[in-house]
Amino acid sequence: MPEKIPWPFNRFYDRCINQMFVKWFKCIATEIKDRKISGIILDIGTGPGRLPIEIAKQVVNAKVFGVDISEDMIKIAKRNAKNEGVYDRVEFNVGSAYNLCFEDNTVVLVLSTGLVHHLKEPKRAFDEIYRILKHRGEAWIYDGRKDCTKEELKETVKRFGIEKDLILPFWIIERIWPYMHIGYKTEDYILGKVGKAIRESKFKDYDLRIEGAYVRITLWKD
């Protein structure tokens, strides 16, 4: 599995994000705002930058960054930020999850949506996140579940409020979901590749929750 979305699918991916996942990203941004999180916030594997853009719209006392290994995606993200009127409040740069251009103990919150299943060396990425986080800083890692049930997928679509924004009918999405490059099976997050990487990383304090068709992993730096 490639660690970045290749051209020309990056432009199609941006259209999908714009139509569907922005509502999810708004919920994440609202949680950050409600918790009054301030400081440097970093989105790893930002793609077209929709999550940092939503955070920049809602969170006042934060400097928001997005990094992605794809130069094309970063170009799209910068264009999107300009179109959304937050170009001066968010910064996008080409970068790898394995080598983040931030000093030790400087970032208050790290975010990642749909990146973990692309990583060939997740432990290495987790250790790099640990390095840049401040004491008691957090990382919110979201990834899809290949083995979610039909009911869980429906609940997720309803919770995000994207019923009318689906590009394909739900019955088609239900059938192709397990074959899409959206994540691992649940056991891989708990006991398999991802779970093992977390346990072997520098993080000693973490929480893993199933949220419908997705898993949310919260990591705390001690």
Contact (Cβ atoms closer than 8 angstroms) between residue 213 and residue 148: yes
User: How many Å from the N-terminal Cα to the C-terminal Cα in the chain?
Assistant: 32
Residue showing tokens 């130069």: 71
Instruction: Give residue 194's pLDDT.
Output: 97
What's the pTM?
0.90
Residue showing tokens 């208050």: 108
Cα–Cα nearest to 133, from 192, 196, 81, 206:
206
| pLDDT at residue 1 greater than cutoff 50 | no
CATH superfamily of 9-220: Vaccinia Virus protein VP39 (3.40.50.150)
- pLDDT more than 70, % of the chain: 90
SS3 96: strand
CA distance 75 to 202: 33
Q: What is the mean pLDDT of the chain?
A: 90
Q: Mean pLDDT lowest for which of 64-73, 95-104, 172-181, 210-219?
A: 172-181
Domain ranges of the chain: 9-220
Give mean pLDDT, residues 154-160. 86
Instruction: Give residue 11's pLDDT.
Output: 58
pLDDT tens-digit profile of 30-45? Answer: 999 999 999 999 999 9
Give mean pLDDT, residues 154-165. 80
CA distance 220 to 88: 29
